[in-house]
């Protein structure tokens, strides 16, 4: 009779991987960051795959000067890595407070720490269950899809890493903590206007645009934003007693293809023509400060507002480490653990 040797169960080691796009931390990083960005077919896809890498190098070389000047205006680099690291630490602390011991990692699509290098750290730490949590509340193949593809490629290159169970959060456009954080920040900023009455303030939800061809092929990005706005307006009405007027626009278009509209620039001009004097922009796509908020909204569109005669133009801060947002992320992690791995085992692991 053959007796199999006793194999002790592997101790539970929980990990959470936060995924984000990334951004250059200093001016010398700008060109290689752009090269990574425009070479990624999940973000900008060319009809001829062989041209993707040369295209990325060419566009990075052509845009480096302009992009460097923009980053100079916001302090010489993007704060996204620092803020994402702070979000990871806050999430790890919140999970521990809720009785779940997990290590939270950060992986970026286009800049350091790249997903590939973070994956190696996850392997070294012998994580047994990994929850993948993109910092993109609204799913798109250009954001969550691009990040997930890189991670899945890492797993495939290591034979699937069968001993590691993993769960994916793909969207959370109406997650209560996310909505609460947005609503809190909007309500707080509304009180700073000369006339704080809700009906006197025009809310402008500004989202990062994507090529319309993706939406036409079924990408839910636009629909998810509309659902977020509907949820926010419901909570605001409950808190304020009325709904402020609001619109959705899109920013950060790159290249000649057709992107989601109306643009934030055109919308500001239209609002000025309609006589609006108090406009509050809400960076709905961005959970951390980046060049889209610090330059486009705070500098470029602030100047445009003055130019077209909007005397009071303000911007809601990005979520960063807002307590409700971090609690919401923790709830998403716990939900995935409950679905893909017994939460009781996770809590037992936290207890030693």
Enumerate the known binding-site residues for Fe(2+): 208, 292
Alpha helices, H only, the chain:
30-39, 52-73, 80-97, 115-124, 144-157, 176-190, 212-216, 221-240, 264-273, 291, 301-307, 323-340, 343-350
As a whole number of angstroms, the distance between CA 34 and CA 98 comes to 39
Residue 53 in tokens: 């890498």
Query: Within a 10 A sphere around the Cβ of 250, how many other Cβ atoms?
Result: 23
As a whole number of angstroms, the distance between CA 189 and CA 244 comes to 13
Cis peptide before 113 (omega within 30 of 0): yes
- Binding site feature residues: 208, 292
Phi and psi angles of residue 263, each rounded to the nearest 5 degrees, phi first: -75, 155
């Amino acid at each position: 009779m053959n007796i199999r040797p006793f194999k002790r169960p592997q101790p539970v080691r929980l990990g959470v991987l936060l995924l984000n796009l990334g951004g250059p931390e200093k001016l010398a990083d700008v060109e290689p960051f752009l090269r990574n960005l425009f070479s990624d077919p999940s973000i900008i896809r060319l009809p001829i795959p062989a041209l993707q890498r040369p295209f990325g190098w060419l566009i990075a070389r052509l845009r480096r000067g302009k992009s460097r000047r923009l980053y100079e205006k916001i302090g010489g680099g993007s704060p996204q890595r620092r803020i994402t690291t702070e979000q990871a630490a806050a999430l790890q602390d919140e999970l521990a407070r809720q009785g779940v011991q997990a290590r939270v990692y950060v992986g970026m699509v286009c800049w350091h720490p790249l997903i590939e290098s973070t994956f190696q750290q996850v392997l070294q730490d012998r994580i047994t269950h990994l929850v993948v949590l993109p910092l993109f509340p609204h799913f798109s193949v250009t954001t969550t899809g691009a990040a997930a593809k890189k991670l899945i490629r890492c797993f495939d290159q290591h034979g699937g890493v069968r001993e590691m169970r993993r769960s994916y959060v793909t969207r959370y456009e109406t997650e209560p903590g996310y909505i609460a954080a947005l609503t809190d920040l909007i309500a707080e900023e509304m009180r700073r206007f000369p006339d704080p009455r809700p009906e006197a303030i025009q809310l402008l939800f500004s989202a990062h645009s994507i090529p319309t061809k993706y939406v036409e092929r079924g990408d839910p990005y636009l629909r998810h934003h509309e659902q977020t706005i509907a949820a926010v307006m419901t909570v605001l009405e409950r808190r304020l007693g009325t709904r402020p007027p609001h619109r959705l626009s899109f920013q950060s278009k790159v290249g000649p293809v057709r992107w989601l509209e109306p643009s934030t620039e055109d919308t500001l001009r239209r609002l000025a023509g309609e006589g609006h004097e108090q406009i509050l922009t809400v960076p709905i796509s961005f959970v951390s400060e980046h060049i889209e908020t610090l330059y486009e909204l705070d500098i470029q569109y602030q100047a445009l507002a003055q130019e077209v005669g909007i005397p009071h133009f303000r911007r809601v801060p990005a979520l960063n480490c807002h307590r409700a947002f971090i609690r919401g992320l923790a709830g998403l992690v716990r939900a995935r653990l409950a679905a893909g791995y017994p939460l009781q085992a996770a809590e037992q692991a936290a207890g030693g």
